[in-house]
Chains A and B, each alone.
Chain A
Amino acid sequence: MFTNRRAFLRTAALATAAITTAALAACGSDDGGDTTTPVSADQVQAALDKGGSITVWAWEPTLKQVVTAFEAKYPKVKVNLVNAGTGNDQYTALQNAVAAGSGVPDVAQIEYYALPQFALGKSLTDLAAFGSGELDGTFTPGPWSSVKTGGGTFGLPMDSGPMALFYNKEVFDKHKIEVPTTWDEYAAAAKKLHAADPKAYITNDTGDAGFTTSLIWQAGGKPFAVDGTNVKLNLADEGSTKFATTWQTLISDKLLAPVGSWSDGWYKGLGDGSIATLVIGAWMPANLESGVPAAKGKWRVAPMPQWTAGANAAAENGGSSLAIPKAGPNNALGYAFLKYATAGEGVKIRVDNGAFPATTAELKSAEFLGKEFPYFGGQKANEIFAKSAADVVPGWSYLPFQVYANSIFNDTVGQAYVTNKPLADGLKAWQEASAKYGKDQGFTVG
């Protein structure tokens, strides 16, 4: 769900930056003019009966099957599913289209971390107008609170990524390492493993904004406090410091494989045992099955290591919502598809094709929980993921300019991974650079 853009990122970020400024400036001028007229369920049904065509921008692979089923159920509706790029590429395109006022899709996939940016830029429809309130309790708390941002509901959760520890059991057994339950044990396991086999690492990390924020989230940190356009940043709070201290030992002792996530080297390391664990979102099994077929049967899943022994804290990692851009041509039909895909029959279709749901009904269903994963040696991994989803620490929020902040993560925090600069200093530099950007965008940054 995170994309690791390399050379191109900078250009894209610049283009995004230029256009976000324009979008925010525009929103400043008509502040308070946010009047979305309510659309009743009957009107949505009428739009379905009337038919028409809608465009959906998404890169999530299982939506293909959802579209097929949707079109079969509503033959008058034609859905153009367009992969307009993964993550950042698509956000740039969406912001360009919104700024230009044409070519805006009816529905767009937006990751949770990016949603506040679009919501506050007033590019998205507040789904409360469509009666999204009735869906209270449909989704797990983590994703549901992620889409309720900026005083409205700006998307419906499509999938979620409650985190778990994926580990290569073969490697652990070979070196007689216990599965860590706390982060201290994790660091000890890292040392033991690397000493036993200098080619093997506990995990890979070259600095990943999504991973770092997720771990701070689990540690109880609340580095970003957002109230309207008032933003507070504190990447030195208790949770952030817990993360920085533990991770600093792993960096200083060179216990992290210098391999970027999602690269070819990463898939290789996951396959040959040189990357022994991943602490990552519950959507990972599908990627392991298709990207690392060689390691089938060797991997297992365990609950996330804890910051306090005996605790049950978890965090979300990645995950996307589907949202309706305001400038989209057919909002009512867009919402019909949105609901079908995220809370209707689409959910089961997506789960059957390997996606991880954000709906409580699926997470509690016996069929879902009882599913045995051949890739994990027959383990019922969903039990662990579902428990993690229930244990997500509440109260987290992302910055309303998180897309930009994440794009500069490697320039600031990333330095700690390649130089002797302490991680805490890197986080501080990230905070300062992000705060400065926020101020330039017109936010009140405290």
Chain B
Amino acid sequence: MTTHPHPTTTAAPKPAPARAARRAVRRDKQRRSPLLTALTALMLIYSLVPLVWLLINASKTQEGLFSSFGLWFDDDFALFTNIRDTLAYDNGVFVRWLLNTLLYVVLGAGGATALATLGGYALAKFDFPGKRGVFAVVIGAVAVPGTALAVPTFLMFSKLGLTNTPWAVIIPSLISPFGLYLMWTFAASAIPGELLEAARVDGAGELRTFLRICMPLLAPGIVTVALFTMVATWNNYFLPLIMLKDPDWYPLTLGLNAWNDQAATAGGQAIFHLVITGSLLTILPLLAAFLFLQRYWQSGLAAGGVKD
């Protein structure tokens, strides 16, 4: 239902120093292979077709959806009517879902990023007993899909009386083992140990060292983790599905599914055009986030992979 941009196609790791880049370009030119170009073009089309389809079909009325060719526009262009109807349907519940999703992303993904940054920095730059144990747990946690934990988490949360509240979505979103691991490796390579020593010699406290000296160096990594957790929280479906029953707290993913299900209900109103327009509106903020932050994202990915 939600089409999310593929990291593999949007994030091409590279740009480093200009000279190296130019050299790389020249080498690429010599090696350009028609086969690979064709395959890449195919991949590009494969990734873009769903988006194009969504854009085209969001401009159609419910009848137009059924009577016109899927990959071209219908005679009457109803995009703006559709957007208006989507925002107004059922007393504007879509706007409420949008605000809920924003809340979950800001608190959940924002908190996850902050925790991953703090934890990753500490693990990379401080030595303490049990560090290897923490490492093993984090690596293990990366391997467990969140979906597998949803039901046990539900049982735990219902004991705490937190189900059907926003906290049930926000608290589990705060934990991002992958983000922690990424920040850890990133901090290990991006912050030279000498820099920390110099700061300590100059009399800076640990907090000041972290905020003033390390944070700027960590910025690309932070943005990368922020993007990861944002996408994960924005598209989160299974966890809220299990935790939330009150449509007033639904995120967009659940709300759109509920709308889609109306067509499969006796006496329900089929609103495919609003589901499609709603899906388009749902992915716009993510697209915007990617376009604005992709600079950091690219350098973050590249730097994360570099070992010095």
Binding site for B on A (CB under 8 A): 1-4, 11, 15, 18-19, 57, 59-62, 80, 82-87, 89, 92-93, 96-97, 99-103, 105, 159, 161, 262, 264, 267-268, 271-272, 281, 283-284, 286-287, 290-291, 293-294, 318, 353-356
B266 touches A161 (CB 8 A): yes
B245 touches A93 (CB 8 A): yes
* B 152-177 to A, binary, CB cutoff 8 A, 1 in contact else 0: 00110011010110000000000000
B270 touches A281 (CB 8 A): no
Q: List 28 A-B contacts (CB under 8 A).
A: A1-B265, A1-B266, A11-B147, A15-B150, A57-B245, A59-B268, A61-B265, A82-B245, A84-B245, A85-B241, A89-B241, A96-B242, A99-B155, A100-B159, A100-B163, A102-B161, A102-B163, A105-B245, A159-B266, A262-B263, A264-B272, A271-B63, A271-B66, A284-B266, A286-B266, A287-B266, A291-B270, A318-B266
B155 touches A267 (CB 8 A): no
Mark out the residues of chain B between 241 and 270 whose CB falls within 8 Å of any chain A CB in the assembled complex.
241-242, 245-247, 258, 261-270
Question: CA of A290 to CA of B245 in the docked complex: distance in angstroms?
Answer: 26
Question: CA of A287 to CA of B267 in the docked complex: distance in angstroms?
Answer: 5
Nearest Cβ in chain B — how far from A387, in angstroms? Answer: 20
Nearest Cβ in chain A — how far from B268, in angstroms? Answer: 6
Nearest Cβ in chain A — how far from B304, in angstroms? Answer: 32
A287 touches B268 (CB 8 A): yes
In the complex, which residue of chain B has the Cβ closest to the Cβ of A19?
A: B151
B67 at the interface (CB under 8 A from A): yes
User: What residues of B have a CB within 8 angstroms of the CB of A19 in the complex?
Assistant: 151
User: What residues of B have a CB within 8 angstroms of the CB of A87 in the complex?
Assistant: 264
User: What residues of A have a CB within 8 angstroms of the CB of B270 in the complex?
Assistant: 267, 287, 290-291
A102 touches B65 (CB 8 A): no
Question: CA of A272 to CA of B270 in the docked complex: distance in angstroms?
Answer: 16
Neighbour of B154 across the interface among A96, A294, A354, CB < 8 A = A96
Nearest Cβ in chain B — how far from A165, in angstroms? Answer: 17
B269 touches A294 (CB 8 A): no
User: What residues of B have a CB within 8 angstroms of the CB of A272 in the complex?
Assistant: 66-67
Given A161-B266, A262-B263; 14 other pairs, CB 8 A cutoff: A57-B245, A82-B246, A85-B258, A92-B242, A96-B155, A100-B155, A264-B263, A281-B266, A283-B267, A290-B270, A293-B63, A294-B66, A294-B67, A355-B267
B89 at the interface (CB under 8 A from A): no
Neighbour of A100 across the interface among B158, B238, B245, CB < 8 A = B158
Question: CA of A96 to CA of B163 in the docked complex: distance in angstroms?
Answer: 11
User: What residues of A have a CB within 8 angstroms of the CB of B63 in the complex?
Assistant: 271, 293-294
B264 touches A4 (CB 8 A): yes
Question: CA of A268 to CA of B268 in the docked complex: distance in angstroms?
Answer: 16
Mark out the residues of chain B between 64 and 80 whose CB falls within 8 Å of any chain A CB in the assembled complex.
65-67
- A83-B247, A96-B242 are contacts. A283–B158 as well, Cβ < 8 Å? no
Nearest Cβ in chain B — how far from A108, in angstroms? Answer: 11
In the complex, which residue of chain B has the Cβ closest to the Cβ of A320?
A: B266
Nearest Cβ in chain B — how far from A419, in angstroms? Answer: 26
Question: CA of A272 to CA of B159 in the docked complex: distance in angstroms?
Answer: 52
Question: CA of A202 to CA of B147 in the docked complex: distance in angstroms?
Answer: 41
B272 touches A59 (CB 8 A): no
The residue among A86, A99, A281, A318 with the most chain B CB atoms within 10 A of its own CB is: A86
Binding site for A on B (CB under 8 A): 63, 65-67, 147, 150-151, 154-155, 158-159, 161, 163-164, 238, 241-242, 245-247, 258, 261-270, 272
Nearest Cβ in chain A — how far from B293, in angstroms? Answer: 29
- A11-B147, A83-B247, A102-B161 are contacts. A3–B269 as well, Cβ < 8 Å? no
User: What residues of B have a CB within 8 angstroms of the CB of A318 in the complex?
Assistant: 266
User: What residues of A have a CB within 8 angstroms of the CB of B245 in the complex?
Assistant: 57, 82, 84, 93, 103, 105
B164 touches A103 (CB 8 A): yes
Question: CA of A92 to CA of B243 in the docked complex: distance in angstroms?
Answer: 11
B163 touches A3 (CB 8 A): no
User: What residues of B have a CB within 8 angstroms of the CB of A80 in the complex?
Assistant: 246
Question: CA of A89 to CA of B247 in the docked complex: distance in angstroms?
Answer: 14
A60 touches B265 (CB 8 A): yes
In the complex, which residue of chain A has the Cβ closest to the Cβ of B254?
A: A85
In the complex, which residue of chain B has the Cβ closest to the Cβ of A63?
A: B267
Question: CA of A293 to CA of B161 in the docked complex: distance in angstroms?
Answer: 45
B66 touches A267 (CB 8 A): yes
Question: CA of A16 to CA of B163 in the docked complex: distance in angstroms?
Answer: 18
B264 touches A86 (CB 8 A): yes
In the complex, which residue of chain B has the Cβ closest to the Cβ of A293?
A: B63
Nearest Cβ in chain A — how far from B256, in angstroms? Answer: 13
B264 touches A2 (CB 8 A): yes
Nearest Cβ in chain A — how far from B115, in angstroms? Answer: 27
Nearest Cβ in chain B — how far from A204, in angstroms? Answer: 14
User: What residues of B have a CB within 8 angstroms of the CB of A271 in the complex?
Assistant: 63, 66-67
A61 touches B268 (CB 8 A): yes
User: What residues of B have a CB within 8 angstroms of the CB of A62 in the complex?
Assistant: 267
Question: CA of A284 to CA of B268 in the docked complex: distance in angstroms?
Answer: 10
A96 touches B151 (CB 8 A): yes
A101 touches B158 (CB 8 A): yes
B158 touches A97 (CB 8 A): yes
Question: CA of A283 to CA of B267 in the docked complex: distance in angstroms?
Answer: 7
User: What residues of B have a CB within 8 angstroms of the CB of A61 in the complex?
Assistant: 262, 265, 267-269
What are the nearest 5 A-B pairs in CB distance?
A: A100-B158, A291-B270, A283-B266, A262-B264, A268-B66
Question: CA of A362 to CA of B151 in the docked complex: distance in angstroms?
Answer: 43
Question: CA of A65 to CA of B66 in the docked complex: distance in angstroms?
Answer: 31
A18 touches B151 (CB 8 A): yes
User: What residues of A have a CB within 8 angstroms of the CB of B241 in the complex?
Assistant: 85, 89
Nearest Cβ in chain A — how far from B299, in angstroms? Answer: 35
Nearest Cβ in chain A — how far from B232, in angstroms? Answer: 17
In the complex, which residue of chain A has the Cβ closest to the Cβ of B268?
A: A61
In the complex, which residue of chain A has the Cβ closest to the Cβ of B161?
A: A102
Question: CA of A103 to CA of B246 in the docked complex: distance in angstroms?
Answer: 11
User: What residues of B have a CB within 8 angstroms of the CB of A103 in the complex?
Assistant: 158, 163-164, 245
Nearest Cβ in chain B — how far from A56, in angstroms? Answer: 11
Question: CA of A97 to CA of B262 in the docked complex: distance in angstroms?
Answer: 23
Neighbour of B265 across the interface among A59, A105, A281, CB < 8 A = A59
Nearest Cβ in chain B — how far from A365, in angstroms? Answer: 20
